[in-house]
Amino acid sequence: MNNINKLIEAASYAAREHTGQTRKGERAEPYINHPLEVANLIASVGKVEDTDILIAAILHDTIEDTGSTAEELTAMFGERVTGFVLEVTDDKSLPKAERKRLQIEHSPHLSHEAKHIKLADKISNITDITNSPPADWSLDRRREYVNWAVAVVAGLRGSNQELENHFDSLVLRAETQFAEESSPE
Ligand code: NDP
Ligand code: ZN
């Protein structure tokens, strides 16, 4: 399979796997919008041309959130792609607070390639927290999420300047948005 075929195959596979899943925002966007956005950010903002990173970005939430297994991904997309996906997959047997703590602890130790995926994942989620947050989240919870993402991204710095700059500008935009929402005119 050539690289373009493999990329389209990954998009099609991830769309099938995430069937019926939605994002948590009020508009309940199809879940697949998020992994496609993560891959697009890495390619268009990060200027990354390594298709294995883009494929892993498209697949990054499949093991965590669908029935996909590492064995299946390895058979379809190879060991390198699957390794990147596993690097950004949380251990779901752990409590949520512990998983969040481990993301901060682990981020500096991710491979250079997986750091791009983690960075773009946080960019996509902060965009959603700003524009399309879960309906039941308070401003404090949204702020808490952004602060946590900033702590995770601290460990990813030095991997891709464009993505890091984009993240920083979105954090500023999120803070401006929260300030406006907390004291509307
Ligand atoms: P969740 O982990 O439950 O939700 C955030 C995750 O949901 C994102 O990382 C993203 O992950 C996914 N997601 C899907 N749709 C959206 C969307 N529209 N916007 C943003 N993210 C979306 O929440 P928390 O990160 O808050 O984790 C739970 C923690 O929150 C607990 O540890 C607890 O301490 C704390 N908490 C705080 C409360 C408060 O009011 N301050 C109340 C309750 C809990 P992905 O990329 O994988 O899709
Ligand atoms: Zn994600």
Which residue, among 1, 10, 163, 166, has the nearest Cα to 85 in the 3D structure?
10
- pLDDT class of 34 with cuts at 50, 70, 90: very high
Residue 167 has which token pair? 């993240």
59-116 per-position pLDDT tens digit: 999 999 999 999 999 999 999 999 999 999 999 999 999 999 999 999 999 999 999 9
Radius of gyration of the chain (CA): 16
Give the pLDDT of residue 107: 98
Is pTM beyond 0.85? Reply is yes
Q: Which residues line ligand 1 (CB under 6 A)?
A: 23-25, 34, 61, 96-97, 100, 121, 125, 128-129, 132-134, 138, 140-141, 144-145
Please, are residues 39 and 54 in contact by the beta-carbon 8 Å criterion?
yes
64 CA closest ligand 1 atom index: 47
